[in-house]
Amino acid sequence: MNSSFELQNLDLIDLLSERHSLVRKISEQAWNDQSDIYISNSEWYIMARIYKKQPTLSYINKHVEISRQAIHKFIKQLAAKELIVIHNVENNKKEKCVQLTALGEACYEKNEALKAQLEQKIAEKIGAEQVKLLKDLLTLEWGIDSK
């Protein structure tokens, strides 16, 4: 679904969903076209929470809107692709923390550049001021927390 007529007939929730789905698909395709390492949107989401940090697995479970089992699966996949490493937390035998490897950081940064290119394409089409306005609107406090 992508014609303007079809999009005009959607409510705000479905319109946000359609646009989100479209830009995620384009972003994922841009990465996959230039890399041998397949990384799913959920894996990117987790990598974004890890980038330049060493969060614990319990922190990731609390702050990533994916089921605990799925997070565990994605963490294992990221480790198998050598994009993250899992460490023991000092003075805590149960807790583990995760960190991007040099390869993981390089992939993350390259993907950020690809997303910036996509944002630039959108700005060329709808205008830089419109993109800024959209970002400003999306970062406002909406007063609709899920919890």
Q: Which helix (H) or strand (E) holds 36?
A: none
Please name which of 105, 114, 109 lies closest in space to residue 78, comparing C-alpha atoms: 105
Query: What's the pLDDT at 8?
Result: 84
Q: E-strand spans in 32-128?
A: 84-89, 92-100
Q: Where are the domains of the chain?
A: 4-137
pLDDT-derived band at 9 (thresholds 50, 70, 90) equals confident
What totals of helices (H) and strands (E) does the chain contain, helices first?
7, 2
Say which residue, 75 or 90, is predicted with more confidence.
75
User: Do residues 78 and 46 make contact, with C-beta atoms less than 8 angstroms apart?
Assistant: yes
If DSSP codes are grouped into helix, strand and coil, which group holds residue 79?
Answer: helix
CA 19 to the chain's CA centroid? 15
Both tokens of 79, joined, read 């480790």
4-137, what's its fold? Arc Repressor Mutant, subunit A (1.10.10)
Q: What is the pLDDT of residues 34-87, one digit of tens each?
A: 999 999 989 999 999 999 999 999 999 999 989 999 999 999 999 999 999 999
Q: What is the pLDDT of residues 99-120, one digit of tens each?
A: 999 999 999 999 999 999 999 9
Query: What's the pLDDT at 81?
Result: 97
pLDDT-derived band at 6 (thresholds 50, 70, 90) equals confident
Is the confidence at residue 97, as pLDDT, over 90? yes
Query: What's the pLDDT at 93?
Result: 82
Query: Average pLDDT, stretch 7-22?
Result: 91
Instruction: Calculate the alpha carbon distances from 127 to 12, 15, 50, 120 in Å.
Output: 21, 19, 32, 9
pLDDT-derived band at 2 (thresholds 50, 70, 90) equals low
User: Do residues 27 and 114 make contact, with C-beta atoms less than 8 angstroms apart?
Assistant: yes
pTM of structure:
0.85
